[in-house]
Structure formats: C-alpha cells, structure tokens
Structure 1
Amino acid sequence: MFTLRTRASLAALSGAAVVAAAAGCSAGTATDGKTTISYLVQTDKLTTETATAMIEAFEKANPDIAVELDTQPAGTEGDNLTKTKLSTGEMSDVFFYNTGSLLQALNPDDQLVDLSGESWVEKVNDDFLSTVSTDDGIYGAPNGSSLAGGVLYNKKVYASLGLEVPTSWAEFLANGEEIKRSAPDVAPILQAYGDDWTAQLFVLADFANVLHQDPEWATKYTDNEAKYSDQPAFSGFLHQQEAFEAGLFNEDFASLLNDEAIAMLAEGSGAHYPILTSAVSAISQNHPDSLDDVGFFALPADDATDTQATVWQPNALYIPRSTEGAQLEAAKKLVEFIASSQEACEILQATGVPSGPYVISTCELPADAPAAIQDLNAYFEAEATAPALEFLSPVKGPSLPNITIEVGSGIRSAEDAAALYDEDVKKQAQQLGLEGW
C-alpha cells in the first residue's frame, strides 16, 4: 500500500541542499563560546527554506548556539541513510523523520532520546503522541500541520441544490443521487485513477470510522486477528462498489488525473472528491479564487455516530542517543523552539497553506485558513478524529491502489477485493517476520 504521508509531505523529492553553517565550525564543537549542533532535513526546496528560516530565528533567540543544516533525500533512500547514520553513531543532533510505523522500525527505545520530560509535551495532541511513543518513552516533537483523508466538496453546488453535509453513508449517497438528477453536468463523485494512489481513499479514509467501532482493531490487525474481508473494515471496499454501481463517478474516472480532479472540484464541475486535505494547497496555488468554495467532511460511516475524520500526522523532530552533553541540551532547545514557539508557528504559516490543524496548542490555525481546513478543525475540536492505520500498524500491502481501482471500475467485487487484499497484506507481514502470520 502506498504510504500517503510520503505523497503528502511538504514537497516533492527535488531541490538543492541549503546549508546554514557557521564558518569553520562542525557539529558537536564549540567555537567562540558557542555550542554547535546539526539539524537534518529533506533536500526539497520548501523544507530547506523553512528549516533555514527556523535556524535563523533560533540562533537569534539563542546566541550561544550555532546550528548547521544537513540535508538528505526523502523516500527509500532517505530511510536507508537514516538507519545507517543511527547505527553508526553519525546521525545529526536533531533530525526530521516520519512518525508511526516507520519510526518504530528505527528501534526508538535503543536509538533515540526520550523527550517525555520536556515541557512542550503536555501541549501536544494525544493522537500525535501515540505515533511517536512506545511503552518506554516519547521520542518525537511535531513539525508542521496535520492533514486528513475525507471528502472535499464544492459548497456552491451544495448551496444551489439545498444540500446538507452528510454524516451517514446513506445521506452521502442520497446527495450524490440528487446531484445526478438535478445537475447532470456535475460529476457527483470525482475519481482520478490516472493517479492510482487516489483510488485508496474509500478504504484508507474510512479507518477512523473502523477504529471508532472497534478501538482495538489496529492491534488485532497487526496480530492477524482482524481482516478487511470482515466488518467493520469491509465497509470501505463495499462503499466504493456501491458508489460505482450507483453511477455517481465521472465518466473519465479511469484516466482522470488528480490535478484535473482538483480543478473540476474547484470550478464546480465535480461535487465531491474523496482525497487528502493536502489538495487544498493545490487549490490555493492554481485556483485561488475558488479556495473558499471548497469544504471538507469526514468520509461517512454507515452509522452517523461512527463518522470520524482519519488524520495523517505531521512528521517529527528526533534526537539520536549519540547526541550528548552540551550538544544534547542545545538540541533539546532547538526541538522545543521549532515544535512550540510562536516564532516557529509564524514561519510555518508564512511558507504555505496548512493542510490541517496543528497538533500542538501553541500553534493555532490562522483566522483566514481555507474553508476546508476550518471544516476539518471542527472535527479536532469535537475530538472526532483518529490516526490513519499506517501510524498504528506496520502491516501494509502494496497492491491496494490496483485493487481499489478494480472495485471502483466495476471489475472486481468488494468481497473479492477485500479477500485479495488480505492475502496481499499477509505476504507483507510475513516478510516483516511478524508473529501470528
């Protein structure tokens, strides 16, 4: 299964490295009375520019500390480099990395500094903390905003037809049928299988609804005691089949690209698009006049009382065990500054549109946040959210995009698809050497 947080990261894997280093200094040394530490981020332009601005502000507030900026690629290459640097004791003093299952693969109890005693921890959302913790410690501090999987919808279409935001699956289908009947030029539900990863949202964005019905589902799934072919997880596949069979998808669903679907949503030729809220950034950049015409609601569950928003947590900042002494104290100060200071919050908001609420109370959404992000924030305020499955379990199957495309195209039934995905997952779990598989 494609890891959606990778696609929804701050930017693509490109751009030159930016190094903000004090001349003649190296990480872990003290020059002119300053303690010098290093900070590792991904090589893309936006990330490095943001990190450079953070360093400048931090050094101004902490004139006794100098920070060198290190960079490395993201993706598989970056994962391998991170593991190598940690195992050899050559990791930068602070580094930016994933949360959830990818973090657990780093053996955080053995390789990372426990930050549970830091003052900023009590200000962080519990859902985020669950993705950077083990039974023995809290290892990561948030850097950036969250995002969610759900349904972006065109508010003008809803207003023209007198529709209300649905909270149950039946209401969602009814809205689609009304759009199909009363606005034949508008696609009720956009699908963009030209970018195969987008087909997964009916399943992935339903996970918070699954967890609300069975809070232990992720643990059972990891232990091979819960399946997608059984309820409540089966609903994601079944709902995608039902939407196809109702004829609610755009005619060109097989070839439409994600950017094209976003454009149709923004202009009102598509009413709904099950997708990540990171799409709001594309609307802001390419369709700014339509930014507040697009809203958000959680992918509805069968029972409205189970409808929750599935959240992808931001990446985090970590300190390796190899950082010690004065460098450790300086590294903790840098982590605290980036994660919880007002200056850092303002830097984040100046670099782009947030894709969701921030997960620490010291950084609030700006008053002019896009309508969809304000809609998403309401779920946070109501405590009606849960992390995506990839943050709670290492078990993933690589074939989910293809399988969900078949369901959404009427090629394969939901029942067959769920059973096939259970087999796909089994292979991956066995490769990981998990017990019970």
Structure 2
Amino acid sequence: MRNFRGRPGMLAAMLAFGLAAVSACSGGSTAAPSGKVANTEGAAPKGVTLTLWHNTADSKALLDLYKAYEKKSGNTIKLVDIPADSFPSTVQTKWATGARPDILEWHGNRTDALSLNAAGTMLDLSKLPFVAKEGDLATVSGSVGGKTYAATIGALSISGIFYNKQVFAKAGLQPPQTYDDLAADCKVLKAKTPGVAPLFEAGGSQWPPQILSAFNYLAESNENQAYDTSILNGKAKLSDADGPFVAALTAYDKLRTAGCFNSDRTTAKWEDQMKAVLDGKAAMVAQNSDSIGLLNSDANGDTAKVDASVGFVGVSATKAVANYAPSPLGTYYVPSTGDSEKERAAVDFIEFATGAGYADYIKEAKIIPTLSGTTTPELQGLLQDVKKAYDQGATLSFNSEIPGFGNFGPESSKLLADQESPQQVAAKMQAFYQQAAAAAKQ
C-alpha cells in the first residue's frame, strides 16, 4: 500500500469522527513573519494550563490523548469547544479579534494555513522529530514557504460517495463511479424507491455542498495537482466557460434541476445527511471519511450495523476517483503568543502527541498511522472501503492549494438554492482567488 513518504498523494489515515476538510476563508493576522522556531531546549515546564481550541467532533481517542498528556506532563489542557458544524467560521471570527489559544486544532490545507498567516502567527515546527516521520505529508499539511507549522496525527479526509446498500439493492443498482452514473441512478431511485432522497444535501451547514458541487467532480482533473497548478500559474481560470470548474458546477446544477436532492436541501445539516444515509432515508451522500465517526455514533457504536448498511466509493467526472485533504481533526499548530513558558509547554504537547503518546492513540483510534514506524490496527469495514477508494488513485483536493477558496462554502450553497448560476459562482470564485493571491504576495 502507499505510504506518506512516496509523493504528495500519500496514504490517507481514516479518522473516526468529524467534518469536511473545507478551506477556511482568508482574514487572519497580516503581521510580518515572527521567525520563531519551536523551542525544545531544556525540560518542559510543569503545572502550566494550556488552552486548546478544539473541534467538538474530536474522537474519544483524541480526547483520551489530551488526558494522557496531562497525566504524563503535569500540565493541564483547557479545552475550548469549537462547534463542528460552524468550525471554520467560528475559528476565523475568534482569530480575527486577536484571540489566541496555546494550541490550535485546525485544517492542514495550505490555503487554511495562509488564512491564519501561519508564517506570522505560528511557531515553526520544522525541526521537530515528527516531520521526518510524516514524510511528504509535512510538505502538504500545515506547510507554508517550505516550513512545517502543524503536526498531523489524525487522518486525511477522503471524499467520495457514501451509499446505502439496502436502498441500492432494492433499486437494482451498483455503486456509482461517474457523474453520469449519479444522474442515471437518481432517475432510477426516484422511480423505484419513492420517499428516499437519491442525494441528500446539507446546505444548512454551508460547507457540505462543496464536495458534490466541485471537489468530487474535479478529482480526476487534479492528478499530480494538474488543475490547481494551471490555476496558480495563470494558464487557466476558474471562470473559464469551458473549464473543469464550470463543468463541475453545471453537473451539480443539473442534479438539482432533476430533483435529485432532498426537499430540505437548503436547511438540512451535516448531521442530518449522515443519519439519512444510515437509516435508508437517503440513497447517497457526498461526504468525507471524517464523517464515519458520526455514522458510528448514530448507530450507538454498532460498527457492524454501519458496515452492513453503508458503503463508500470514489466518484469523479468520468471515472471512479476519490480526493483527499488534511483533516482538521488531529492537526495541531502552536500559535506564537509571546508567553515563552506556555509556548514551550505547547511544543511539549506536540512532541508527546507525535512521540510517546502516538502509538496508544493510533491503537485506540483504529486508524492508519500518519507517522512511519507505527503498527496499523485492524480497520472498520467502511474504513476499508475508503482506503480502497484512496488506493485506486485518489488525488489531492484541487482547492487545497488555491487561496481564497474559503468563500466557496457560501457560494456553493447559493448554487444549491438556485440563487446563482454556475457561471456566476465561478466568476466570483475567480475574483476571490485573485484577491487572496494578491494579498498573499504583499
């Protein structure tokens, strides 16, 4: 199987609970780079209270990791809950006020690191031992300007289609591979399984529509990061009428006009869509592997029930290709707060999470390790489906490297609500990209 040391398309670890790895909007501090490198000299302080802004979708394994660090270090971790449903916007809003935690759980996408101006607001972790163990992952997750500002011990989020096995069997269908399949399956499902939403969307959470409206469709276009590179070097524009991005939005809009979505598509939430596919009220949901933990929770921890009910496949424009991005769950930064004692203690947490505490975390979380030299535990069946989809050639989500894509959540929701056309959304996203790219060069 692939490993993280091969190429930027490295092996994904599948996390047990979470939300989509969506890009956050720009708007963090614009301070000049601090140039601060993580301090690892001398014994770490004890009796320190560290605030950790964490996603409420953190798995029990992550919560237990925090407790294990407290026991080992003599320090206290004060969790500041950031709701999973509004995670990106909440962090951005708090960050914009100048508030800073001692440890930040946050997205690893480069665009997200740039949105908080990682080079100017975070400690450089490049010299810590975990970086070598992450291999190529360290050049993708939390990486800006060739430096690594984040430790990623959780999973990469693998996006594709979750489908209900019983609903598909009743309709006599095989899992989809392409967007033409999605459209054809929608027609059959509407005829043979009335009352079941062919595709369940969650516009009420804003970020979920991004996955089906673009990320999945474009997976095949971004092999070896071909499409995002063409945007970054100016050879293509998101707004190109005959380009892949507009084609993706158009394909999504056709699913909407064909009546493939649930009636409450603009108000339903992420939690609703995962429960719907588990219960058979939806045939398909476009989501990422982070959501498997929510499925398990909805099944009261009965993973056998989840595995029997739900499958996962990669889907893109014309072939079965999944896409991935660093998950915020288990990805940690150390903000530069000016409190040297707390900064040293926060770095000590990073060293523990990627060192002495890592193997126990992986064993409890039952995920594929992101750090080399750690045994892979037995995986849940649905996670094995996700891994299979990844191993078949998953590509880096095209938005991961494109600044300004944090605005896509609201824009894709407008497309879902028929408030903007595909071309209008594409034109606005091109403008957002150009503005963010210009700001990043200042």
Calculate the TM-score normalised by the size of structure 2.
0.70
CA shift in 2, pair 1:348/1:433, >3 Å: same
**How much does 1:108 deviate?**
4.1
CA distance in 1, matches of 2:93, 2:418: 37
The reply on whether 1:124 has 2:138 as its aligned counterpart is no
Where in structure 1 are there 5+ consecutive unaligned residues?
10-27, 86-90
Encode CA deviations 1:206-256: one digit per residue, 9 max, x unaligned.
375165257243344356653333322223212212323444333454554
CA distance in 2, matches of 1:117, 1:436: 26
Aligned with 1:359 (options 360, 370, 374):
370
User: In structure 1, what is the equivalent of residue 187 of structure 2?
Assistant: 177
The reply on whether 1:67 has 2:75 as its aligned counterpart is yes
Q: Which amino acid aligns with 1:423?
A: K
Indicate if the aligned counterparts of 2:158 and 2:322 stay in contact, CA closer than 8 A. no
CA distance in 1, matches of 2:374, 2:417: 42
User: In structure 2, what is the equivalent of residue 20 of structure 1?
Assistant: none
CA distance in 2, matches of 1:129, 1:434: 22
User: In structure 1, what is the equivalent of residue 212 of structure 2?
Assistant: 202
CA distance in 2, matches of 1:328, 1:244: 49
Farther off after superposition, 150-159 or 283-292: 283-292
User: In structure 2, what is the equivalent of residue 430 of structure 1?
Assistant: 435
Indicate if the aligned counterparts of 2:69 and 2:349 stay in contact, CA closer than 8 A. yes
**How much does 1:417 deviate?**
2.3
Q: Which amino acid aligns with 2:311?
A: G
Aligned with 1:186 (options 196, 203, 222):
196
Which structure exhibits the higher relative contact order, with contacts defined as CA atoms closer than 8 Å and separated by 6 or more residues? 2
The reply on whether 1:294 has 2:310 as its aligned counterpart is yes
Identity of paired residues, percent? 18
Aligned with 1:395 (options 390, 394, 404):
404
**How much does 1:291 deviate?**
1.6
CA shift in 2, pair 1:250/1:345, >3 Å: same
Indicate if the aligned counterparts of 1:340 and 1:362 stay in contact, CA closer than 8 A. no
**How much does 1:41 deviate?**
0.9
User: In structure 2, what is the equivalent of residue 23 of structure 1?
Assistant: none
CA distance in 1, matches of 2:340, 2:255: 59
User: In structure 2, what is the equivalent of residue 212 of structure 1?
Assistant: 222
CA distance in 1, matches of 2:353, 2:238: 39
Number of equivalences: 392
Q: Which amino acid aligns with 1:67?
A: N
**How much does 1:425 deviate?**
4.6
CA distance in 2, matches of 1:377, 1:407: 31
**How much does 1:140 deviate?**
1.6
**How much does 1:70 deviate?**
4.6
The reply on whether 1:263 has 2:275 as its aligned counterpart is yes
CA distance in 1, matches of 2:51, 2:281: 43
Indicate if the aligned counterparts of 1:237 and 1:417 stay in contact, CA closer than 8 A. yes
**How much does 1:152 deviate?**
1.2
CA distance in 2, matches of 1:387, 1:340: 29
SS across alignment from 1:374: helix
SS across alignment from 1:215: helix
User: In structure 2, what is the equivalent of residue 313 of structure 1?
Assistant: 327
Indicate if the aligned counterparts of 2:277 and 2:285 stay in contact, CA closer than 8 A. yes
CA shift in 2, pair 1:49/1:375, >3 Å: closer
CA distance in 1, matches of 2:392, 2:346: 35
Q: Which amino acid aligns with 1:313?
A: S
Encode CA deviations 1:123-143: one digit per residue, 9 max, x unaligned.
326346413223442222114
Where in structure 2 are there 5+ consecutive unaligned residues?
1-16, 22-39, 83-90
Output aligned runs, 1:35-434, within 5 Å.
35-36=45-46, 39-42=50-53, 53-54=64-65, 56-58=67-69, 65-72=73-80, 74=82, 75-80=91-96, 92=102, 95-99=104-108, 100-109=110-119, 112-124=122-134, 126-127=136-137, 129-206=139-216, 209=219, 211-213=221-223, 215-222=225-232, 226-230=236-240, 231-288=243-300, 290-292=305-307, 293-304=309-320, 307-314=321-328, 316-319=331-334, 332-341=347-356, 343-347=357-361, 350=364, 359-361=370-372, 366-367=377-378, 369=380, 371-387=381-397, 389=399, 391-396=400-405, 398=407, 400-401=408-409, 403-405=411-413, 407-408=415-416, 416-427=421-432, 429-430=434-435, 433-434=438-439
CA shift in 2, pair 1:313/1:362, >3 Å: farther
- The structure whose Rg is larger is 1
CA distance in 2, matches of 1:429, 1:318: 27
CA distance in 2, matches of 1:38, 1:161: 56
